[in-house]
Amino acid sequence: MGQSVEFGKFLKAMRSRLKPEEAGITDGAGARRVPGLRREEIARLAGVSTDYYTRLEQGRNIHPSRAVLDSVARALRLDAGEQAHMMNLMEHCAESARSALPVQAVRPALRQLLEAVGDVPALVLGRRTDVLAGNRMAFLLFADFPELPASERNLTRWLILDPRARELFRDWKTVAAEAAGALRVDVGRHPNDARANQLVGELAVHSEHFRQWWAGHRVATRSAGSVRLHHPAVGDLELHFENLVLPNDADQVLRVYSAPQGSPSADALTLLGSLGAGAAAESTVESTTPKEAAASIAPEAAAQAASRPKPAVP
């Protein structure tokens, strides 16, 4: 699909979510046949002709100025992440060459950093949220990504398609929808990434939820947040995460999960680490973590974890 068509679809999706009253429009004719504002209404709010805006939505060969795009973004009430995504789509509309993206690798110093923060789960994510590296705590908490086939070492794929992810994340639908939105941003940034497009196709084939989220053109750009988990070995956890952009490593992010010191969630992380202490030391995707990591969790220790008091849910 051409980027101009994708750009037009994004505009249409953003227009359809707006309510007339949000734009100060009084609809005296009663209910509308389709949701959202009409093209002519967005055009008027943006200060352009209806014909010009129509051509934008239809993906026809035009080259709007930054000022026009800013006006359209204001008319559509885009947030900062959505506006950046719109700009990425327009920037790549003129691209025709399918240049291959370089293979991503993790620097040795970054691997050392993963080992240094071994008490908390940490992952290095690449384009399309490929899991490039991680420490033992991350693999104990989420999944043993190094044991998966190379094509399946992707956080978004695992989150949406693996049934264990649904059991782990207590707010799975919210987390998975946000992951789909982050993938949307990545595809907009690298429209000629064949692997990203293959991933989108696979998710669309196997997940009705993903098809709905993708059709909504939602984008997600959070750099920090929290997740609520229920781990089969240590029970409930509430963890904060930070996405740290690595300026010297293009399209790589260090994601670190943590809990306040002395909290039940911090205690649960400590217990999880002790349960997996018999497994191999910190590992990355290239140096595979043994499957014995999961087997090392003794039944009596798991029972002890289950008997611990659970943290209050806010």
70 and 204 in a single domain? The answer is: no
Query: For residue 295, which of 275, 314, 313, 267 has the smallest C-alpha distance?
Result: 275
Residues 195 and 56 in one domain: no
Domain span at residue 177 reads 108-307
**Nearest-angstrom CA–CA distance, 50 and 54:** 6
Q: Mark whether 157 and 44 lie in a shared domain.
A: no
- CB contact burial 68-101 (16+ within 10 A = b; e otherwise): bbbbbbebbebeebbbbbbebbbebbeeeeeeee
Domain final residue, candidates 91, 124, 139: 91
- Stretch (H or E) spanning 229: strand 224-231
Residues 47 and 165 in one domain: no
DSSP H helical ranges for the chain: 3-16, 39-46, 50-57, 66-75, 80-91, 108-116, 136-141, 155-161, 163-168, 172-189, 194-206, 208-215, 264-275, 292-295, 299-307
| Orientation angle between helical segments 172-189 and 194-206, nearest 10 degrees | 150
Q: With respect to residue 313, please indicate whether it lies within any of the assigned structural domains.
A: no
CATH number at residue 233: 3.30.450.180
**DSSP bridge partners of 235:** 231
DSSP type of residue 154: B
User: Is 60 inside any structural domain?
Assistant: yes
Rounded distance between C-alpha atoms, residue 259 and residue 172, angstroms:
19
Any domain includes 98: no
Task: Specify the pLDDT at position 279.
Answer: 47
Domain count, the chain: 2
Q: What is the pLDDT of residue 62?
A: 67
Instruction: State how beta strands 131-134 and 224-231 pair.
Output: unpaired
First-to-last C-alpha distance (Å) of the chain: 44
pTM across the whole model:
0.69
Q: Are residue 166 and residue 125 in the same domain, yes or no? A: yes
Interval 17-66: pLDDT, tens: 888 877 777 765 556 777 888 888 888 888 888 888 888 888 775 678 88
User: What is the amino acid identity at position 158?
Assistant: W
Q: Are residues 25 and 156 in the same domain?
A: no
User: Which one-letter DSSP state was computed for residue 1?
Assistant: -
Residue 56 lies in a domain: yes
pLDDT tens digits for range 241-266: 999 999 989 899 999 999 999 999 99
Q: Are residues 302 and 182 in the same domain?
A: yes
What pLDDT is stored for residue 121 in this prediction?
98
Compute and round to an integer the Cα radius of gyration of the chain. Answer: 23
**Beta sheet of 235-245, edge-to-edge order:** 131-134, 122-125, 253-258, 235-245, 224-231
Task: Give pLDDT tens digits along the chain (314 positions).
Answer: 456 777 888 888 888 888 887 777 776 555 677 788 888 888 888 888 888 888 888 877 567 888 888 888 888 888 888 888 888 777 766 554 456 688 899 999 999 999 999 999 999 999 999 999 999 999 999 999 999 999 999 999 999 999 999 999 999 999 999 999 999 999 888 888 889 989 999 999 999 999 999 988 888 888 999 999 999 999 999 999 999 999 989 899 999 999 999 999 999 999 999 987 654 444 444 433 333 434 444 444 444 444 444 444 33
Look up the CATH number of the domain holding residue 68. Answer: 1.10.260.40
Tokens standing for 314? 């806010």
CA pair distance 243, 253, nearest whole angstrom: 6
